[in-house]
Amino acid sequence: IFDNPVLGSHYAAQEIARLILEKQAQQLPCVLGLATGSTPISLYKELVRLHREEGLSFHNVITFNLDEYYPLPKAAIQSYYSFMYRHLFSHVDIDPLNIHIPDGSLPKEAVKQYCQQYEQWIEQAGGIDLQVLGIGNNGHIGFNEPGSSIFSKTRLVTLDNSTRMANARDFQNISQVPRLAVTMGISTILKAKRVLLLAWGNKAPVVARSVEGHVTEQVPASILQQHNDCTFIVDTLAAAELT
Ligand code: F6R
């Protein structure tokens, strides 16, 4: 629990930087799973600072983003593809060939096979070393909405109305928010060797349900209680309802 999101983000950035350097020392790739949304923006800002001011290189980093709206062209300013370049990838020395973001612009008949391919790419990279997550007010992780199976893999999903409402801030109005998304599954996330979930501000009720409530598919983040190396990094506001 940190006093504010900046301190929590710095802590997360330090852990990620340590892992990248450790892998570099062993001449191994460092495979990161990444999230979008408002929560990780301060984390990416600190990683960019570490690159610019402290020489942290991303040359051995391979990334897999959690999710993308469907359908949405990559070039749309609301796409998670655009988000990642705006906040991180354009500012560090990552090899563009090492970046994987679910493609929200494929024809529908191609999506299923693409999702299987995405899972294979993760496996071929050696699995995710560290997965960064945010959390939705309904407990979603990635776009795995309440009711998602613990066995779910990367797939096309329907967004909850509450998710579309929360994300309408990035669009002209709610009718513009895509109804579908491609997301890594719960099982994909659980396979990551280490998980960092970040939550700030008004997430206190769902943080408490996830950490202290029953493990249930109705609160997807609660399933992380069964992961053996998961840390929730929260600020005092988001921690307010923990007992
Ligand atoms: C985004 C993602 C989502 C968000 C969640 C919280 O890639 O996977 O689960 O982390 O919706 O969003 P923010 O951070 O905007 O509150």
Is any atom of ligand 1 closer than 6 Å to the C-beta of 141? yes
Does a structural domain hold residue 197? Answer: yes
Q: How far is the CA of 25 from the centre of ligand 1 (A)?
A: 32
Instruction: Name which residue sits closest to atom 11 of ligand 1, judged by CA.
Output: 136
Q: How many domains does the chain have?
A: 1
Does a structural domain hold residue 241? Answer: no
Mean pLDDT of all residues in 132-154: 98
Does a structural domain hold residue 239? Answer: no
Catalytic residue IDs: 145
Mean pLDDT of all residues in 173-195: 98
* pLDDT reported for residue 139: 98
* pLDDT reported for residue 212: 98
Is any atom of ligand 1 closer than 6 Å to the C-beta of 37? yes
Does a structural domain hold residue 133? Answer: yes
Does a structural domain hold residue 243? Answer: no
Mean pLDDT of all residues in 168-192: 98
How confident is the prediction for the chain on average, in pLDDT? 98
Mean pLDDT of all residues in 150-175: 98
Q: Express each pLDDT in 22-79 by its tens digit.
A: 999 999 999 999 999 999 999 999 999 999 999 999 999 999 999 999 999 999 999 9
Exposed, middle or buried by CB within 10 Å (0-12, 13-18, 19+), for 55?
exposed
Is any atom of ligand 1 closer than 6 Å to the C-beta of 134? yes
Q: Where are the alpha helices (DSSP H) in 26-124?
A: 41-54, 80-87, 108-124
Note the pTM of the prediction, 2 decimals: 0.98
- Domain of residue 44: give its range: 5-234
Does a structural domain hold residue 240? Answer: no
* pLDDT reported for residue 118: 99
Find tokens 């700030």 and name the residue.
200
Q: How far is the CA of 129 from the centre of ligand 1 (A)?
A: 20
Q: Return the amino acid letter for 155.
A: R
Is any atom of ligand 1 closer than 6 Å to the C-beta of 182? no
Q: What percent of the chain has pLDDT over 70?
A: 100
Does a structural domain hold residue 16? Answer: yes
Backbone φ/ψ region at 56: left (φ over 0), alpha (ψ -120 to 50), beta:
beta
Here the CATH number for the domain that contains residue 144 is 3.40.50.1360
ipTM associated with this complex = 0.99
Give the residue among 62, 56, 43, 64 at the shortest CA–CA distance from 92.
Answer: 56
Question: Residue 169's pLDDT band (boundaries 50, 70, 90)?
Answer: very high
